[in-house]
Structure formats: C-alpha cells, structure tokens
Chains A and B, each alone.
Chain A
Amino acid sequence: MRAYVALFKSNMRLTLRDRGVLFFNYLFPLIFFFAFAELFHAGVGAGIAYFVSTVLVMGILGNGLWGAGMRSVQEREANILRRFKVTPISPLPILVAAMVSGWLLFLPTLVLLVGLAHFMYGMPLPANGISLLMMATLGVCSMRAIGLILAAVTNTMAEATIAIQSVYMPMLFLSGATVPAAMLPKWAQTLAQFMPASYLVSGFQGIFFRNQNLGDHLPAVGALLLSIVLGLFLAVKLFRWEKEEKIAPRSKIWVMAVLAPFVMMGVWKTYSKDHLGTNAALYRNLQRAGVFLIRNARVVVGDGKVIEVGSVLVRDGRVAAVYEGAGPDPDSLRAEVVEAAGKTLLPGLIDAHVHLAASGGVSTDAQDYDAAKTMPRSAAALLYSGVTAARSAGDGLDGSLKLRREVADGAKLGAQLFICGPMFTAEGGHGAEFIDRLPATVRDSVKAQLVRTPKTPEEARKQVRELKAKGVDGVKAILEAGWGQGMLYDRLDLLLVRAVSEEAHAQHLRMSTHTGDARDVADAVEIGSASVEHGSWRDEIPDNLLERMAREGVYLDPTLGVAEAYGAYYSGKDEVLNRSMVQQVVPAALLKGTRAFVASGKGADAGKAELFQRALETARANLLRAWKVGVPLVMGTDAGNPMVFHGPSLHHEMQLWVAAGIPIEVALQAATVNAAKLLGAEAHIGAIRPGMDADLLLVDGNPLQDIAATERISLVVFKGERIRRAALFEQK
C-alpha cells in the first residue's frame, strides 16, 4: 500500500510540474469550451451542456490515451522504468497509480466546466451529479486502460504515437464528441458504436439533458468497467520495464481484447439500431435547448385571455416568461429574438381525434398503406401544420405506442401523441367491418392490434387492464348502429361497454365513445364517457342530454370535417385537394392518386352523399346548441378518413365551427386548452404560461378576426425547438 501511495504522490507532483500536462488538461479544454460556446452561439441554458459533454469527452480522450499511454512509453524509452525494475515492486502499483492520478487530475476539469457552464451560461446543474462523476470516472479509467495497453504493445515512441493517434482521432470525430452524432451518415453512426467514447458522449448528454443516471446506461457502464479490468490485467501481463524488451507483433492483438466489450456493444447496436434513435434524440435535446424571445406578438394565451402586444420567453423547452409589451432587453436575457409584430402567437393546436395509420388519401401504392410509414408521416404532417399534440382514437396498438415513444424521446419529430390503441366494438361492428375482408393469414394479428371485441364484461375488463399495462393514455369505445345504406353495424352491447367504462375509470383512463345518434350519445353519457366523439349526425341531441353533458363536463367532439369530407367523397368532389395546406402536407403522388380516384367516380354514391350532407348539417346544429347550453367542446378531425388530412383538417375544422356560428375564441379554446384538459395534459400543453411546454404556433395576421389566418404559419415551436418544417418530411 505504501508503494501505491508513494507512486500516486509522485505522479501527482510530476504532473503538476509539467506545463504540457496542465495545458492539455485544463487550459486546452477551456479554450475549446469557450470557443465552441461563443462560436455556436450556445447562448444560455441547457444547450451549453452539449459543449460541456464535448469538452469532457475530448479531455478524457486526451487524458487517457495521450496522458497514460504516451507517458508510460516515454518512461520506458527513457530508461526511467529500469530503475524501478531493480526495486521489489511489481507493475500493478505503477499502473494503478497512473490510473488514479489521471482520474484525480481530471476531476478539476469536470468541476470547472460544469461550474463555468452553470454560472456563465446558465446551464442547469445536472440532477444526477453522482452519475456524472461516475461516468467521468469510468471514462477516464477506461481510456487510461486503453492508453496503457497501447503503450504496452508498442515498441517505440513513434509507434505509440501512431497507435494512439489511430484510436484517438476516430473517437474524437465519430463519437459525437465534436460533430453531433445525428449529423453523421448512418454507417458512421454505427461504426462509432464500436468506440467507447460514443458511450461516454451519450452518457454525458443523457445525464445533462434527460436527467438520466448510470442505470439508464447499464450496458455501456458494464462495457467500460470490463475494459478497465481487462486493460489493467493485460497491462500488468504485458508490462515491460525496458526499451530493449521488444514485444512480438502478435502480442499487439491484445489491444483487441480490451476493445472487445465495445466490439460486442457495436455488434449489438448494429443489430438493434438503437443508437440511431438515441443519437437523433440527443440531437433533439440540443435543438430544444436554448433561449429566444418571441417579441411584440398578439398572444392568445389559450384560456380566453389575449395580450394584444406581448412577448414570450422560451428557455430550454419551456415557456419561461410571458410579458406585456416588448419584454426585457433580449441581450440581458442572452436570448435570440423572434420579431413577431403583426403576428399572432397561439398555443400549439391539439387534434383530439385522429387515426395515424391511414393517410386520408387513396393510392394504388401499397406503401401508402404501410402503417410503419404512414404513422410517422401523419405525426410529422400534424406538427408541420402547427398541431403539436394529437390523440390517436384508434390505431394499431404496438405501432402507435412505439411512435409515441419515439416522438417523446425526440428520436422522431412529430406531434406529441396520446394513444387509445385498439377500439372496443362489437364483432362485425363499426371499426371492425373491414377485418373480415382481410386475408386469413393477417386477420388475427390485425384484429389484435386494432380492435377489442369482448364477449363478456369480465373479458372487457381484462382487456382494459391489459391495455393499461401496455401504456395506453385512454380507451376508445364505439356505439354505432349506422345507416341502412350498406353501412349497418352491430352495436356494442351496453353491458359490455359499461364494463369497459367502469374498468377504464378504475384504471384512471379517460373513456371516449364514438356515437352515431342521440341514443348513442345518451348511452355514452350514461356509462360515464369523458368525451362523446362525433355526437349525433342523424338526429338532434335533446336539450336535457346536452344540459347533462354540460353539468357533468362531458366533452363533445363534433368532427364536422369528416362528415363534410365523406359528403364530398361520395359526391365525387375534390376541392379539398386544392387547399394550400393540403398540398403542402400530402405527397404529390398520393394527391394525384386521390384526385384520380375521385375523378373516376368509383367512389361516387349519391345516396351516401346525401346522408353525409345531412349529417354535416345535423352535427353543426348540435354543436351550436351544445355550445349555447355550455357543453365543454374539444376539436377533433378524424383525420385519416378519406380526404381528411392530418394537420390541414384541424385548421379547416376551426373554419367549419366558425361558419357554424361558434365564436372564434371558443373554437380556438376547443383546439387548445380544452383538448389538453380532456387529455389530462393541461399542466403541460394547451396554453402559454410560464412552466408550460413551449409548444407554440405563430401565424401571420389575426385569427381572432379571420380564423383562416391560422393557416398562414410563420413558425412552429415544439418543446422549445423552432421546427424546420420542410425538413419534417425528410426524416428517415
């Protein structure tokens, strides 16, 4: 033990006397830190954490590879180690002391960088400081282990320089330490997964940006630990005291042993492709960090209040402050400015009723019906249109949950999603009608993903519990008898739907019920639905039922647009395809296919057209009466139905409401704060208040005078990121 302490003390003394070491360990990282921070306008806030991670990893690579590696080669080549060889010590204390002193040397860098970033650039201190320290420790020790092995297997300084350089350079540039990993080509991102530094970068960024701890990086922690142990063991075995002792070329293969844990990680990642999402998500965090002030806009707060000239400060993904007037000097806030005079700032819109898997278009290309492609596209189209959140009221369970997670992680960019998953309906009922037409091979799996058709109340309850366990946000049931025009459905037994509702309540899931007529609405309210989807398209909802809805706070989601769209579809009218926003979000081929189909008249059906035209009128009348009675309103589109396109349809829905006589501010609230309440997310979204997610829609003009102004989108902010809207559709 005495030898360990003495060697450690001696190492520390020598190191602190070495100006080169001090420069590379302390000054060099600081220079890079300030250069990066100022060059890339990190501004203030969490964005600086990205550069802290960068500089930490650069420091660790330098400290480990050059510090440990070169120094031990140097001491061997200069005949210094020879003197130690004639004393009764073994290599182990020398190697351990080298590792520990390197680690201690690095700690001030860590403290200094985090401190500077915090005090000078306002970076929030990481919540998991211990994890940060541990990750840095693992990083320094594993890099030093690799450095020691490289020293052990090289015969001269020149050889060592080449060996270290060839490990150092790729790690520096491919690991995400210097260039964000997400900006590299996919092959390079995958290659980087074979390098330990990549795990340090994602570890640090995870700790800084996502409040992760070591537990979230267990495989990487294991690999780093293993490399330390293997590295030390092999460095002892291969230790050479004298330059005259040359190592056989085949012994160089031992380097691979130390890197083996990362080869395994790399192979695993190549197979799992996790890292691509992780890299994209970390890049997302960087985009979401930062500070900007949207200045001099008309601010529609969302709860009915309007600030005629106001400013909103966004910091690190959230609304930090809302000001009357121009707000404080942006320089004093170190904030960028988004000048918004003459514009109107709204909370990001929320569509309470979409189906992500269907595009809304008609196509002959099977790809356009592949949910793996259509769902992310729908989410992107929603966000493009300023719809920053949406509820999927019926989609394939696994696919929609996966997309929700990817969006939440930031791996994919799209509207924030709330998922109901499969719909509860009768065997052969609405929502399940097409399943019998599917080929037998896929029928069962599609059915399991899309619908639940319980036969008994017990089964219904069990299915709700299973969905809850899967992580759904709500439950959707269908009460629909249909029309006698080839659209008749078996209606879900009331006993069953009541069991669904009761279990949903027990599981703290909001129940939304699709209804077709006033009787369905009455039943939906009776069983305790949180929202009535569509309301009645066939008859008037009685006043006393509306009054009950108002009293009990049952939301009405009238979905006028889908009624209108079906009317147009069966009439062979394609004007909707000419709308500007539709043409922006719908791919040209799909637009063309849809237009061709409508023009062909294959879908035309005068009887159905007439039914849906009447349905629209009935739905409008019910909406107006519901509003007058005080029924809480939310806005949904049922996007995914023919010619109801994700995004544009919500803007059109608002226009339909206003045309029906609903005041603009009521329509806006239905599409923002009310929808947020229905989704149980009003603490985070649906209004512009300090502490809320920075989900914002900035439009030209004043939608309070002309609701169509919402389509003149100037800027969409999602979780604090100013979205490059055109790039949304280029996501792979």
Chain B
Amino acid sequence: MDSPILVEALTKHYGNLHAVKGIDFEVRAGEVFGLLGPNGAGKTTTVEILEGLRSRSGGKVRVLGCDPEVQTKQLKDRVGVCLQANRLQDKLQVGEAMELFAAFYTRTVDGNQLLKRLQLWEKRDTQYDKLSGGQKQRLALALAMLNDPQVLFLDEPSAGLDPQARHEIHELVLDLRREQRTILMTTHYIEEAEKLCDRVAIVDEGRIIAIGTPREIQEKVLAHATIEIELTAPLGGVTLPRWPEADDVAVDEARRKISVVTGRPARIVVEMVKWLDAQGIELADIRIKRPSLEDAFIELTGKSLRE
C-alpha cells in the first residue's frame, strides 16, 4: 500500500519569497509525522498545500492518492484538519458547530460521541466565545474528526495553550496514534515532537535539514558533546596532541580555554586531564556540555525555536 502522504520536490513561492524550497518526505499509514521548525520555516505552507488550501509552485504531492490541487473536494471530504489560525463565530454553540460542519461531509461519525470523548459534552450548549483556549482547541479537534478521517493534519495543535491544556491535547493525539490514524502535525515544541511523533522532519528556511525518529535525531545531537577546559595560566607554545575520537579541537585567543567536540566525551576527558597534568598545567574549571535537541536546532539552523 502506498503511503497516505507523499511529498516530492515540493516548492512554493509567493512572488519573490520562496517559502518552500524543495521538500521531500512521506508519511506512512498509521504514523504520526512531525514537521518541526521555527516560525516561518515553511511548515504551515507545506501542510496547507497538502490540505488543498493552497496551490503549489512545483513538485509532486499525493494525499490518499489524490492531488490536493485537482481532487480538492474529494480530498477535503476524507481528511481532518485542525488549522493554526482559525476560529468560529462567537455566538455559535459547540453542539451547533458540530451539527453545521457535519452537514458538509458525505460520511460522519456520531458527533455526540466525539464531544463526550473530547470532554466537551457538558459544553455542548456553550457559545464559542465562552470557551477556554483548551476547549476551543478540543472543539477544533472534534470538528477535524467529524468525518472519521484516515488522515489528520494538525497545525501547531497546542500553540498558545497552558501546560494543562497542552497535556490534554497530547493525550488526545496519543489516543489517535493508538487508533492507527495517519497524522501530519507541525510544531515548534521539541518535547511535543519527542512525545507524539513517530518520525520528525526538521524544517528550516523551506528545506528539511534532518529527518528521522526523535531518537535518531537525539542521538545525532548527543554525538556532539563539547568538553571545555579552562586553565589557570595561558597554554604557552605547546602543541596539543591528537586525541583519538576528538572531532574538533580549538583553543581560544587567550590560550586559556580548550574546547573539544567529540562523540566519546567521558573517555577523552580522562585523556585530556592526564595530558594537562603531565604538562604541569593547572585546571581552573571543566565542563561537559551535552546539548539538548533545542541546542541541536540552534546549531543546525542558527535560530531559536522558542517564540
């Protein structure tokens, strides 16, 4: 069976602005796939092209075998979408919103069951403007699930929510994952990607710069621990030895700090300390920096992920 979502060499530009500069990935059936990246990376544009909201400038895209630009209506009938920027009319009640949107689809599930599942049943007579942020987001999810979609697009599902609400949304997505639904989500929270996604693509400036399971990416990042040793006195004219498995060795201008990037920090620290001791150089401080996924991002993209 073909993957539900296939993206090949996708490009999108608005006039001179190139938002997506050639993206390839696929989302396999039953997989939760995350597009992780800073704001303006092209995540939302990519997702909205797949949802049939936008046209693409180039490349090939298939969702459930449909070209979103051609078989737009059939596709919209079969997928569920949770938009990033969206709201409903202030005076529309939860139950009425479900009833209204149900009328647009050829096939729907029981809206009441959905509301119960999403803990909105008590709120069914509440107007949209009286809902909390978390309730609004749960309603958005409920609407996205009305047509029992095989493929769900969740664009920043927990953005702007408080920790409790975010936790609830995470539990719901994990639920959907257990139901073997195919989900493409975007996020700029690393924890979210780590917690929810089977696989993640890191997107920056319209390109994918890393792709894999969160663990693979984590490991790639862990491989690059940095050892920093500060000295009480300048190093003088000695030549540093070539420590095995040290990927990069650097000394600062004042020759009082040595930095070593390595995949085997524990081992090299011992070698370094031995050598310094042998040289009679006194250590002022020693640090081993094990960067987070976020640091990896800064390293990979040169950008901060936080808003």
Q: How distant is the Cα of A13 from the Cα of B128 in the complex, in angstroms? A: 13
Which chain A residues (53-90) contact chain B, with CB distance < 8 Å? 75, 78-80, 82-90
Give min CB distance, B124 to chain A, whole Å: 14
Q: How distant is the Cα of A306 from the Cα of B258 in the complex, in angstroms? A: 130
Give min CB distance, B81 to chain A, whole Å: 4
Q: Is A331 an interface residue (CB 8 A)?
A: no
Q: Is A120 an interface residue (CB 8 A)?
A: no
Q: Which of A3-11, A180-188, A405-413, A532-540 contacts B (4 or more CB under 8 A)?
A: A3-11
Q: Is A599 an interface residue (CB 8 A)?
A: no
Given contacts A14-B92, A79-B85, A80-B88, contact A6 B99 (CB under 8 A): yes
Q: How distant is the Cα of A84 from the Cα of B89 in the complex, in angstroms? A: 12
Q: Are A86 and B103 in contact (CB under 8 A)?
A: no
How many interface residues does chain A have, given as a range?
A: 20 to 34
Q: Which residues of B contact A83 (CB under 8 A)?
A: 83, 86-88, 143
Q: How distant is the Cα of A18 from the Cα of B90 in the complex, in angstroms? A: 10
Q: How distant is the Cα of A558 from the Cα of B6 in the complex, in angstroms? A: 106
Q: Is B204 an interface residue (CB 8 A)?
A: no
Q: Which residues of B contact A5 (CB under 8 A)?
A: 103
Give min CB distance, A10 to chain B, whole Å: 5
Q: How distant is the Cα of A85 from the Cα of B53 in the complex, in angstroms? A: 7
Q: Is B105 an interface residue (CB 8 A)?
A: yes
Q: Which residues of B contact A10 (CB under 8 A)?
A: 92, 96, 100
Q: Is B306 an interface residue (CB 8 A)?
A: no
Q: Are A88 and B99 in contact (CB under 8 A)?
A: no
Q: Which residues of A contact B52 (CB under 8 A)?
A: 86
Q: How distant is the Cα of A6 from the Cα of B98 in the complex, in angstroms? A: 11
Which chain A residues (10-69) contact chain B, with CB distance < 8 Å? 10, 13-14, 17-18
Q: Is A305 an interface residue (CB 8 A)?
A: no
Q: Are A6 and B81 in contact (CB under 8 A)?
A: no
Q: Is B267 an interface residue (CB 8 A)?
A: no
Q: Which residues of B contact A82 (CB under 8 A)?
A: 53, 83, 85-86
Tell me how many residues of B have a C-beta within 8 Å of chain A.
Answer: 27
Give min CB distance, B33 to chain A, whole Å: 19
Given contacts A78-B87, A80-B89, A83-B143, contact A6 B53 (CB under 8 A): no
Q: Is B242 an interface residue (CB 8 A)?
A: no
Q: Is B156 an interface residue (CB 8 A)?
A: no
Give min CB distance, A292 to chain B, whole Å: 50
Q: Are B77 and A7 in contact (CB under 8 A)?
A: no
Q: Is A2 an interface residue (CB 8 A)?
A: yes
Give min CB distance, B6 to chain A, whole Å: 20
Q: Which residues of B contact A78 (CB under 8 A)?
A: 87
Give min CB distance, A261 to chain B, whole Å: 33
Q: Which residues of A contact B88 (CB under 8 A)?
A: 80, 83
Contact partner, B105, options A18, A75, A79, A87, Cβ 8 Å: A87
Q: Is B178 an interface residue (CB 8 A)?
A: no
Q: Which residues of B contact A86 (CB under 8 A)?
A: 51-53, 76, 81, 83
Contact partner, A87, options B74, B76, B85, B96, Cβ 8 Å: B76
Q: How distant is the Cα of A314 from the Cα of B201 in the complex, in angstroms? A: 88
Given contacts A6-B100, A83-B143, A88-B76, contact A14 B83 (CB under 8 A): no
Considering only CB atoms, which chain B residue lies closest to A2 in the complex?
B103
Which of A2, A83, A84 lies at the interface centre, i.e. has the most chain B CB atoms within 10 A of its CB? A83
Q: How distant is the Cα of A78 from the Cα of B88 in the complex, in angstroms? A: 9
Q: How distant is the Cα of A75 from the Cα of B128 in the complex, in angstroms? A: 14
Q: Are A75 and B100 in contact (CB under 8 A)?
A: no
Considering only CB atoms, which chain A residue lies closest to B77 in the complex?
A88
Q: Are B87 and A80 in contact (CB under 8 A)?
A: yes
Q: How distant is the Cα of A90 from the Cα of B73 in the complex, in angstroms? A: 9
Q: How distant is the Cα of A629 from the Cα of B87 in the complex, in angstroms? A: 96
Q: Which residues of B contact A87 (CB under 8 A)?
A: 76, 101, 104-105
Q: Are B86 and A79 in contact (CB under 8 A)?
A: yes
Give min CB distance, B93 to chain A, whole Å: 8
Q: Are A79 and B87 in contact (CB under 8 A)?
A: yes
Q: Is B91 an interface residue (CB 8 A)?
A: yes
List 30 A-B residue pairs with CB atoms under 8 Å apart, sorted by A's residue number: A2-B103, A6-B99, A6-B100, A6-B102, A6-B103, A10-B96, A10-B100, A13-B92, A13-B96, A14-B91, A14-B92, A17-B91, A79-B87, A80-B88, A80-B89, A82-B83, A82-B86, A83-B86, A83-B87, A83-B88, A83-B143, A84-B104, A86-B52, A86-B53, A86-B81, A87-B105, A88-B73, A88-B76, A88-B106, A89-B104
**Given pairs A2-B103, A14-B92, A88-B106, 11 additional interface contacts (CB within 8 A):** A17-B127, A78-B87, A79-B87, A80-B86, A80-B87, A80-B89, A82-B53, A85-B53, A86-B53, A86-B76, A88-B73
Those 6 A-B pairs whose CB atoms lie nearest each other, nearest first: A6-B103, A86-B81, A88-B76, A17-B91, A87-B104, A88-B77
